[in-house]
């Protein structure tokens, strides 16, 4: 039995003096106040039966129930007096209950074969019920080699923020559906003495991805005519959470690790190649932003004899990738390939039992990351300008990267004094 709970409070204040934001409330400076509160508590009970008392046929059953409460409000105040300048918008005060029940059956008739089948049924007060199955088999192909095949499904129900909040520059969502994902994976795991090889291929399908859709001028006008938006938005964007896209992702993982010289030298290398495409009705397929199609790392370490340090070197590589707002510009903006190198020395300090040190140096060869900063965010200035914002301001700027860092530290292990 597991009992759990959590609480979260959020407050945000912003003083604004621009006429487009304060003209409607007729005060020189208005103060926007956003308040959010959430509380939740739950209990999970789980049990299992080993039917043959030898681990061959085991059933696991569990149930997880949760109570949730959420409240939020947006207010506009007169900054000079602190009194309300406009009626509260986006008011939310709700509670709900969710319940999940799951079962898993494992079967291992021999050392060379095992199977795992399970499922989870979730009951959501707002979005109904959803069943998520999972299955996996594992078999020994040859000496030291294990083959695995895995299939699983999962879902995520939209949050209250996505499904129910409305107010300044956010239109309340309509008929949101939960996000779903289906995944398959095949794995080869090969042991070679003190060395280990792993290769896998995978594919995942995400559907009904929830995103903050930016409303067009016509959509904003219609919402205001219906009374769903009662504020002057000015040049600001207005959003509405919708199920707007799906993602198809496939690729491979590979890794090799091991040790030499009686365990003094350790090495490991991992690489992932993945192609992810975002699909939205009425729009061409796009690469998933920020996500590289190729990345990996290499780690090497050697333990020198006696109290001499452990010397380690690691490197991490990310291929060229679209920025977070890449396709908001007339020419998509990509972050350059990134390579980082880290060297570390660590070991005990002989004069004090239990005391050790660590010193490392990190260097990044790329000076830019994958996120757009600055005024050029890929939006249109005016319809009559004849160009996009990036063309007028000179183009976007990518976030700078901390290229060089040195770190030193001490650690004391009380067990070392014995």
Q: Is the dihedral of CA 353, 354, 355, 358 positive or negative?
A: positive
In a domain, 289, yes or no: yes
Q: Say what percent of the chain tops pLDDT 90.
A: 59
pLDDT in tens, 293-350: 999 999 999 999 988 899 999 999 999 999 998 888 878 889 999 999 999 999 998 8
Q: pLDDT-derived band of residue 381, with 50, 70 and 90 as boundaries?
A: very low
Q: What angle do CA 169, 373, 314 make, to 5 degrees?
A: 130
Residue 65 has pLDDT above 70, yes or no: yes
Domain CATH for 238: 2.40.170.20
pTM above 0.85, yes or no: no
Number of domains in the chain: 1
Q: What is the DSSP string of 309-332?
A: PEEEEEEEEE--EE-TTGGGSSS-
In a domain, 128, yes or no: yes
pLDDT in tens, 251-285: 999 999 999 988 899 999 999 999 999 998 888 88
pLDDT in tens, 7-33: 999 999 988 887 666 766 677 888 888
Mean pLDDT for 171-177 is 87
In a domain, 206, yes or no: yes
The larger pLDDT score, comparing residue 353 to residue 273, is at: 273
Strands 294-303 and 265-279: antiparallel
pLDDT in tens, 86-144: 777 667 888 999 999 999 999 999 999 999 999 999 999 888 899 999 999 999 989 99
How distant is the alpha carbon of residue 189 from its chain centre?
27
Range of the domain at 335: 46-67+92-417
In a domain, 232, yes or no: yes
Q: Is the dihedral of CA 271, 211, 387, 393 positive or negative?
A: negative
What is residue 382's predicted lDDT score, i.e. its pLDDT? Answer: 38
What is residue 400's predicted lDDT score, i.e. its pLDDT? Answer: 95
Strands 239-260 and 170-171: parallel
What is residue 236's predicted lDDT score, i.e. its pLDDT? Answer: 62
Q: Say what percent of the chain tops pLDDT 70.
A: 91
Closest CA to 289 of 323, 329, 318, 317: 323
Cβ contact 321:343 at 8 Å: no
Selection from 55-64, 239-248, 382-391 with the highest mean pLDDT: 55-64
Lookup result for tokens 């190649």: 273
Q: What is the mean pLDDT of the chain?
A: 88
């Amino acid at each position: 039995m597991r009992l759990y709970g959590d609480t979260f409070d959020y407050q945000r204040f912003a003083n604004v003096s621009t006429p487009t934001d304060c003209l409607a409330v007729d005060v020189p400076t208005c103060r926007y106040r956003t308040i959010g509160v959430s509380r939740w508590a739950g209990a999970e009970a789980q049990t299992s039966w080993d039917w043959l008392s030898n681990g061959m046929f085991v059933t696991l059953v569990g149930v997880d129930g949760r109570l949730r409460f959420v409240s939020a409000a947006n207010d506009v105040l007169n900054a000079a007096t602190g009194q309300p300048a406009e009626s509260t918008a986006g008011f939310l005060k709700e509670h709900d209950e969710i319940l999940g029940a799951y079962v898993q059956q494992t079967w291992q008739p021999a050392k060379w074969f095992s199977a795992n089948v399970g499922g989870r049924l979730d009951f959501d007060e707002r979005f109904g019920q959803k069943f998520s199955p999972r299955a996996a088999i594992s078999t020994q192909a040859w000496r030291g080699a294990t083959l695995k095949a895995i299939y699983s499904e999962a879902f995520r129900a939209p949050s209250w923020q996505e499904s129910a909040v409305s107010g300044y520059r956010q239109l309340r969502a309509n008929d949101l559906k939960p996000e779903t994902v289906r995944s398959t994976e095949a794995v080869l795991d090969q042991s070679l003495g003190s060395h280990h090889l792993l290769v896998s291929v995978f594919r995942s399908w995400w559907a009904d991805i929830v995103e903050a859709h930016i409303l067009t001028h016509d959509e904003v006008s219609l919402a205001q005519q219906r009374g769903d938006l009662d504020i002057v938005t000015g040049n600001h964007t207005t959003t509405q959470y919708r199920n707007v896209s799906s993602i198809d992702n496939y690729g491979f993982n590979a890794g090799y690790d091991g040790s030499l010289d009686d365990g003094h030298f350790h090495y490991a290398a991992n690489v992932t190649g993945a192609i992810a495409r975002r699909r939205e009705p009425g729009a061409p397929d796009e690469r998933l932003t920020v996500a590289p199609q190729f990345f990996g790392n290499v780690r090497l370490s050697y333990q020198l004899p006696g109290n001499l340090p452990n010397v380690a070197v690691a490197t991490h590589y990310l291929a060229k990738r679209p920025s977070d707002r890449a396709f908001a510009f007339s020419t998509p903006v990509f972050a350059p390939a990134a390579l980082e190198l880290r060297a570390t020395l660590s070991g005990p300090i002989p004069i004090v039992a239990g005391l050790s040190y660590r010193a490392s140096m990190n260097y990044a060869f790329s000076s830019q990351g994958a996120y757009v900063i600055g005024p050029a965010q890929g939006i249109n200035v005016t319809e009559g300008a004849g160009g996009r914002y990036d063309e007028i301001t000179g183009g976007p700027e990518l976030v700078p990267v901390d290229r060089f860092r040195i770190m030193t530290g001490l650690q004391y292990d009380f067990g070392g004094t014995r």
